[in-house]
A and B are shown apart, each in its own frame.
Chain A
């Protein structure tokens, strides 16, 4: 890349660049690096309290007997949530995309409707489903009653996670569908025509044309979904609150430990919450890199 500037002096470019970067560095990059730094301290939510270096103390606490039970639950929940959301969201999105890619009357309307939750936002979605799964008088309860059963829904520890996963998939599927549709439409029509001339059956066309050419879209969707769901918590927060053990995920653990959503206030410091952030960061990094490597290999294998 040529490094000369066509606009005379270089200083204006440097100045505006520095100005823009300053904001990003101060409010986005420093906090990111700061998480690692303060995870070695006992910093608290009140200013003017002395801050001490505690070394690996917070990480030891994370794996200590007192916290391990809680953290194992949070970790397990995070994995269950991320795995289920990734699996269901992707497979259903692919089915819906293929369905809505056919020349059907009203398919544009259906596409628009599926994408709608992206715009509505977590709070509105959370309240809508609180209403639907209202244990006292919701339509879901009537459905359960039709089968001679009843449920506390989000209040039922055995069901809460499944429902949260359902709502997350419901609200997130639109983006995945649109990405798959873009992938399907990018496949040149000629390839199907050539396959027809060669006398390929529908199954062969699916196996040898559609699936290999859709592989990049599958990679993009799966990766987006894994990264997103491992770190997501806004919807869970709105649906079941910050301290429900049945739906406690790592991100919510950061929130509760750092900002006292936990019952009886928080005894541990925000340094400890930062340590949870780092644990989560490492987990997300390992899982997304491993999935990326796996998906890329699959792409070339197809």
Chain B
């Protein structure tokens, strides 16, 4: 019995069908094709319109916005971006956010490796207990109050170090991703490396990262998204404006320039643009990471 001819038969050959009943990855029936395209177009519009409206507003002069707030921009004002950049002090905030995100996510990922590897291999006692703890760490109560108290009492309040340590310790699914992946890799690889004279540290920090790059980058990306997005912890841990991440800087900018919509839009664009750029290049990676982490969790 050959399977090839069967596979070549289009899955959607009967007349009455909904898109849902379409064979997986199948080509929609002609009658449904245009409905599908229309729906897809609708989805794209619902997602792109808000962004395009933001760009449109960011380019308007105040006068033009007052006269015609929703129409297409006629006289683009690129000066808005310069003005927002300077008045919002965004250079400093973006730099803070980049530092917090890179350092916290890197430290968190290295920690996930340092605690996940020996547990997966049973190189520390009671691996089952630790494994259970890694899972339990995903379901903790809201710790705003105690984190604040801890920072206060350790003299870490209003310091970038305190914020980074707290953010780094939120490893989330990281250790579980590491143990899950290592369970699928035979121990013999450890043994072979040890025979060749690799020490524990060298193995963990040079061999393993190469072996499990996809998992480690997933852990890194998940944590990085969390740090970059945080606004509440930054609000309660920082009083000095110089330490603010860009989320807080942008939110504060909104408070200051409440009704200057063009300037506010330009500021929002300044924060969104680098993210869009990163997304453009790392899209596949980012999407895969979030799914990998979510399903694991």
Q: Which residues of A contact B (CB under 8 A)?
A: 1-3, 5-8, 10, 12-14, 16-17, 19-21, 23-24, 26-32, 34-36, 38, 43, 45, 47, 95-96, 98-104, 106-107, 109-124, 126-132, 134, 136-139, 142, 170, 175, 178-179, 182, 184-185, 187, 189-190, 192-193, 196-197, 201-203, 205-206, 210, 220, 224, 227, 231, 233-234, 237-238, 251, 254-255, 258-259, 270, 273-274, 277-278, 280-281, 284-285, 288
Contacts and interface: CB of A to CB of B under 8 A. Distances in A.
Contacts of A258: 144-145, 148, 236
B105 interface: no
A24 B24 contact: no
Contacts of A126: 251
A130 B250 CA distance: 13
Given A7-B203, A28-B169, A116 B153 contact: no
Nearest to A261: B235
Contacts of A10: 123
A38 B70 contact: no
Given A96-B43, A102-B26, A210-B20, A27 B147 contact: yes
B225 A132 contact: no
B142 A16 contact: no
A28 B137 contact: yes
A282 to B, nearest CB: 9
B294 A224 contact: yes
Interface string B261-297: 1001100100110011011000100110011001101
Contacts of A273: 144-145
Given A7-B203, A109-B44, A102 B19 contact: yes
A203 B21 contact: yes
Contact of B22 (A19, A102, A196, A259): A102
Given A28-B137, A128-B50, A274 B146 contact: yes
B63 to A, nearest CB: 13
B17 A202 contact: yes
A127 B47 CA distance: 15
Interface in B92-127: 107, 110-112, 114-115, 118-119, 121-125, 127
Nearest to B40: A110
Of residues A31, A104, A138, which shows the largest number of chain B Cβ atoms within 10 Å of its Cβ?
A31
B143 A32 contact: yes
A21 B294 CA distance: 23
Nearest to B45: A113
Contacts of B271: 123-124
B41 to A, nearest CB: 9
27 contacts: A13-B200, A14-B118, A16-B118, A17-B115, A20-B111, A24-B137, A27-B168, A30-B146, A35-B141, A35-B143, A95-B20, A99-B36, A102-B25, A104-B36, A113-B43, A113-B48, A115-B283, A116-B276, A118-B290, A119-B286, A123-B231, A123-B271, A132-B53, A179-B291, A182-B295, A193-B3, A193-B11
Contacts of A121: 225, 228-229, 247, 275
A111 B200 CA distance: 43
A231 B232 CA distance: 13
Chain B interface mostly: helix
B209 interface: no
B180 interface: no
Of residues B18, B20, B137, which shows the largest number of chain A Cβ atoms within 10 Å of its Cβ?
B20
Contact of B142 (A124, A251, A288): A251
A62 to B, nearest CB: 14
B28 A103 contact: yes
A92 to B, nearest CB: 9
B20 A16 contact: no
B228 to A, nearest CB: 6
Contacts of B203: 7
A102 B21 CA distance: 11
A128 B200 contact: no
Nearest to B286: A119
A124 B16 contact: no
Interface string B75-100: 00000000000000000000000000
A137 B65 contact: yes
